[in-house]
Structure 1
Amino acid sequence: MDKELLAMLVCPQSQAPLEYDNERSELVCRQSGLAYPVRDGIPVMLVNEARQLDTEEKLGKPRNEAPALGGE
């Protein structure tokens, strides 16, 4: 994601700044609790297209990885 473009974009719901999540290819707004998809390099800044963040994501905590199955 282009840093200059990211600096200009704000959440359409809260007007708060966004963070880019490279792993999920999303623009994240912790204030509104929404993550906007980036498809083919184009941010989709529509509230009805956004994903609701879970509590840990809103707080900025790293995602927990699933435990290995059949581990010792």
Structure 2
Amino acid sequence: MSIPANLLSVLACPSCKGKLVWGPDKTTLVCRGEQLAYPVRDGIPAMLAQEAKTLSAEEMKQVDTL
């Protein structure tokens, strides 16, 4: 399940207010600035700080290749 492009364009990282992009597996929304991944469950993004996962340098390389 995905998020419509018009909704994705208005979502922002709750921490830095930066743009979010799809993670490589299309189950997370990633903030490149904060290096955080927010899960998307059943088409609903969990945009809470406690839900975010900090990405490693290797995981960020995968995001940057998208």
TM-score, length of structure 1 as denominator length: 0.75
Task: Compare relative contact order (CA 8 Å, sep 6+) and give the higher one, 1 or 2.
Answer: 2
Aligned residues: 61
In structure 1, the partner of 2:11 is: 9
Tell me which structure has the larger Cα radius of gyration.
Answer: 1
Check conservation: 1:30, 1:57, Cα contact below 8 A.
Answer: no
Shift of 1:22: 5.7
Runs (4+) of structure 1 exceeding 3 A deviation are none
Q: List alignment gaps of at least 5 residues for structure 1.
A: 64-72
Q: List alignment gaps of at least 5 residues for structure 2.
A: none
Give the superposed CA RMSD: 1.7
